[in-house]
Amino acid sequence: MRRAVLRLCTLSKGLLTPGRGLTQGSQNPENQRVFHIHEACSPIHVNHVRDKLREIVGASTNWRDHVKAMEERKLLQSFLAKSQEELPPRRMKDSYVEVLLPLGSQPELREKYLTVQNAIRFGRILEDLDSLGVLICYMHTKMHSTKMSPLSIVTALVDKIDMHKKCLSPEQDIKFCGHVSWVGKTSMEVKMQMFQLHGNEFCPVLEATFVMVARDSENKRSAFVNPLIPEGPEEEELFRQGEFNKGRRVAFSSASLLKMAPSAEERMTIHEMFLNTLDPKTISFRSRVLPRNAVWMENSKLKSLEICHPQERNIFNRIFGGFLMRKAYELGWATACNFGGSRPFVVAVDDIMFQKPVEVGSLLFLSSQVCYTQGNYIQVRVHSEVATLQNKEHTTTNVFHFTFMSEKEVPLVFPRTYGESMLYLDGQRHFNSMSAPVALRNDYLVEP
């Protein structure tokens, strides 16, 4: 067990240093390491993750019982800690979980994960990562005094998901693993990795950093989580990285274009783009023409609507974060496909913020657009908002950022309004925060 954790941490350190990329990752011999099957502790079957979660929170399996189940959860409030100091510290290995998705040995599982091009649906992987992230946090906060957890653990942020060059086959077993890597007072950072069997070895294909927040039994107020004690220099480094990530997120958010004007360089970019669209035949700021091989941003949009049925609920009777991510991702993929005119492959996902829970019964409006392109890359932003039948006012619940790589070079995208210019710059910032660009690889197959 300990060896497996250490090996995972070493791998994480190599791959997840902020700003390091796919190219750098794959060139680094450290990252060529593989995870040997025999090192793993017995993994949980993917189908059991959600059953375990239901058991931990005592969720009802029938929608008609959900109110009763929530009433029962209220009784757990007394188990909540009044301060973090009351809670026993945990180690990284206490929350370490491995999950097996046996696509190779159980072909009946494949259908759910399959794309028409015989690749793996990335949207399904997002759902699995979300459930696993929550399970990992329940391992970290496990109490011996009560079978059911008084905590409601929700996904606050998908900080980053980086894909590596490996081809994802729907016919080979997949393994996920992860652990809590940093904790605050009520929040936990979780690092997860995904491996696919290649011959006799599980090779790394993806890594992800999520932030989960603990809430009380009724999911109304935040609740304290156990401190984390890193053991040894590798874990200390991971913990420091978690601290650094928190600072980076605060800095990124305070420099948000919703709060601050763009930098001088960014302003210059926008002005140059504007000048490039002025019609040289008229001396007017109004007549705008698109340069060759460019598309107006407003023409890159796709929209969808989902009715949030009880079937898509999570263990707290709100809409499952993984479902929201899958739907947003699939719309984003279709947007990139429509825009680029060829098959897009996801390269990175970052900064998905879950601002508000989505209630069962809501109408979920997803709106997706290309906001930045470069070479073969397409940066897509998906905005989601909800309305209810009673209240038609729309409320933003999430903003998703996806980076795709297209098989062919893609057109430039041009903002027409000031608001679109801000979207362009925000897209550029997200693109630049991604790892260094990678060369298009034929074996890089990750699809909706």
Ligand X SMILES: CCCCCCCCCCCCCCCCCC(=O)SCCNC(=O)CCNC(=O)[C@H](O)C(C)(C)COP(=O)(O)OP(=O)(O)OC[C@H]1O[C@@H](n2cnc3c(N)ncnc32)[C@H](O)[C@@H]1OP(=O)(O)O
Q: List interacting residues with ligand X (CB under 6 A).
A: 50, 53-54, 59-61, 130-131, 134, 154-157, 184-187, 211, 213, 215, 222, 249, 313-315, 318, 320-321, 353-357
Q: What's the token pair of residue 398?
A: 């999430």
Q: How far is residue 352's CA from residue 156's CA, in Å, rounded to a whole number?
A: 8
Best CA proximity match to 168, nearest among 383, 438, 443: 443
Shortest CB 384 distance to ligand X, Å: 11
Cβ proximity to ligand X: between 226 and 314 the closer is: 314
Asked whether 122 and 166 are in contact (CB, 8 A), the reply is no
C-alpha pair distances (Å), 326 with each of 245, 312, 441: 25, 11, 24
Instruction: Provide the residue type at 60 as one letter.
Output: S
Cβ proximity to ligand X: between 11 and 126 the closer is: 126
Q: How far is residue 22's CA from residue 437's CA, in Å, rounded to a whole number?
A: 7
Residues 6+ apart with CB under 8 A from 327: 123, 304, 306, 364, 366
Residues 6+ apart with CB under 8 A from 279: 287, 288, 289
Shortest CB 128 distance to ligand X, Å: 10
Cβ proximity to ligand X: between 130 and 162 the closer is: 130
Residues 6+ apart with CB under 8 A from 203: 34, 35, 166, 195, 196, 197
Shortest CB 185 distance to ligand X, Å: 4
Cβ proximity to ligand X: between 329 and 339 the closer is: 329
Cβ proximity to ligand X: between 81 and 294 the closer is: 81
Q: How far is residue 31's CA from residue 24's CA, in Å, rounded to a whole number?
A: 9
Q: Which residues are bridge partners to 306 per DSSP?
A: 364
Cβ proximity to ligand X: between 217 and 300 the closer is: 217
Q: What's the token pair of residue 378?
A: 């397409």
Shortest CB 201 distance to ligand X, Å: 30
Shortest CB 155 distance to ligand X, Å: 4
Shortest CB 115 distance to ligand X, Å: 21
Cβ proximity to ligand X: between 137 and 302 the closer is: 137
Shortest CB 261 distance to ligand X, Å: 23
Buried b vs exposed e over 319-335: b needs ≥16 C-beta within 10 Å?
bbbbbbbbbbbbbbbbb
Shortest CB 83 distance to ligand X, Å: 12
Shortest CB 363 distance to ligand X, Å: 16
**Which residue lies nearest ligand X, judged by its C-beta?**
184
Instruction: Provide the residue type at 71 as one letter.
Output: E
Cβ proximity to ligand X: between 243 and 298 the closer is: 243
Cβ proximity to ligand X: between 7 and 121 the closer is: 121
C-alpha pair distances (Å), 142 with each of 132, 150, 250, 430: 15, 10, 29, 36
C-alpha pair distances (Å), 49 with each of 53, 55, 97, 189, 290: 6, 10, 10, 19, 51
